[in-house]
Amino acid sequence: MVLQTTVVIVGAGHSGLAMSRRLAERGIDHVVLERGEVANSWRTERWDSLRLLTPNWQSGLPAFGYAGDDPDGYMSSHQVADHLASYSRAIDAPVRTGVTVTSVAARDGGSAAGGYRVTTDDEIWDTDVVVLANGGSGIANLPPVADGVPSGVLSIAAKDYRSPDALPDGHVLVVGASASGVQLADELSRAGRDVTIAAGEHVRMPRRYRGRDVFWWMDAAGVLDERFDEIDDIVRARHVPSPQLVGSPDRTVDIAALRARGVRVAGRVGRIHDGVAQFSGGLANTVRLADLKLHRLLDRFDEWAARTGAEGLADPERPADTQVDAAPVLQLDLARERVGAIVWATGYRPDYSWLDVPVLDYKGRLPHTGGVVDKAPGLYVLGTTLLRRRRSSYIAGAAQDTADLAEHLSGYLAGRPAGDSERAQQDAEAIA
């Protein structure tokens, strides 16, 4: 039997649920398909100690603000999952759990303008619109050098890491110095492990500045409201690493903090060959650039505070510039240093392996204009980095993103030729 609805949303994370609420507000019938349970990735694909980078007060969703007693705290991954499950119940979202989408294709093999057929492992849906809300972290983005890891060393992506005890004994090499990389290096070091972190491009950011959380500053100073069409190189901006932050109000974890804990810092991994990891010699330039960008951001905060006369702020106190060894580590003999595991904190990419619509570019990326897929009418994407504005990268960004895209979606449906939905229903009934 072929089922019929106006909109199919793929994924019941924060973006999919927020879009469900927006469609319900407009009376647009829809269904949300989720391969696991609501907020599945938060329950099954996060390490045990993970906490949000954003404070709890920034975790609101359409018609559902944060109602806990710790607005300045940071939710654990399981608390996020519970938060989203509560939201799903509160808005009575039409979620069908345990349903894996295996194909999204133009209906009847025609053009996307004729609607879509969504095939799952349980049922088939014909629909006018599909919203891809399966998130941007479906697949670990391991670099080609990972293929050179010798068989005696555990090679694991950050999304598969759970705790220090789950790794084999020995030295640990963490590759990547964005939020995940520095957090894992810090946790492993605190657990008594010898750790080397390979740091490529990274974004240094203090947890607090002048007595306020850095996200308070980015919200107040308008950083999070910068739109995708105001940024010169949006493709590059969408691939900038996440900031070096940890979900704790009194700790900053960056290269300097890791070095103070005894973590060895090397440059970007260039090659792993014959059991030896080789690193770039440009670490000093890498940290210098990160420091420069940090000071530019803090300058912007200070300028905003002076311009607006913001009160209750502490005096400016800048972090010291990052120091690294004059003679950087250029190679690591994995056997000699007893490296038992390499953890790849090198980012993620969305999983569109089931998308049978010819819209991906030669790198497998999905081109879109603020969430509106360029070459497929009626196809939308949500939940990816810098989708419509900088706040899109975080849970709270879903409120504005879904408001914008639901408006566009509603207009798209209103502009369809008369009779299309009726004809699709008749076709579905005939096939069934």
- Please write the tens of the pLDDT for every residue from 177-199: 999 999 999 999 999 999 999 99
Same domain? For 48 and 99 the reply is yes
Are residues 128 and 151 located together in one domain of the fold? Answer: no
User: In what helix (H) or strand (E) does residue 34 lie, and over which residues does it extend?
Assistant: strand 30-34
- Please report, as a single letter, which amino acid is at residue 348: Y
Same-domain pairing of 130 and 37: yes
pTM of the model: 0.92
What pLDDT shows up at residue 114? Answer: 85
**What's residue 427's pLDDT?**
34
Q: Are residues 338 and 366 in the same domain?
A: no
Using CA atoms, how far apart are residues 186 and 246, in angstroms rounded to an integer?
10
Domain count, the chain: 2
* Phi, psi angle pair for 32, to nearest 5°: -110, 120
Do 204 and 245 share a domain, yes or no?
yes
Judge whether 17 and 84 are in contact, CB under 8 Å.
Answer: yes
- Do 154 and 286 belong together in one domain? yes
Q: Please tell me the predicted confidence (pLDDT) of residue 307.
A: 98
pLDDT of residue 1: 84
For the chain, residues with pLDDT lower than 50 are 417-432
- Last-in-domain residue among 291, 322, 344: 344
Residue 16 structural domain? 2-138+350-431
Cα separation of 74 and 54, whole Å?
Answer: 7
Domain termination site, one of 313, 344, 375: 344
Q: What is the CATH number of the domain that holds 281?
A: 3.50.50.60
Pick from 110, 165, 100, 104: nearest CA to 138: 100
Same domain flag for 327 and 421: no
What is the predicted pLDDT for the residue at 16?
98
Based on the domain organization, do 172 and 271 belong to the same domain? yes
Alpha carbon distance 415, 394 (integer Å): 32
**Domain termination site, one of 329, 344, 359:** 344
CA distance 226 to 390: 6
Claim to verify: residue 148 and residue 219 sit in the same structural domain = yes
379 and 329 part of one domain: no
Contact 302, 294 (CB under 8 A): no
Question: Residue 237 is which amino acid?
Answer: A
pLDDT value of residue 250 = 82
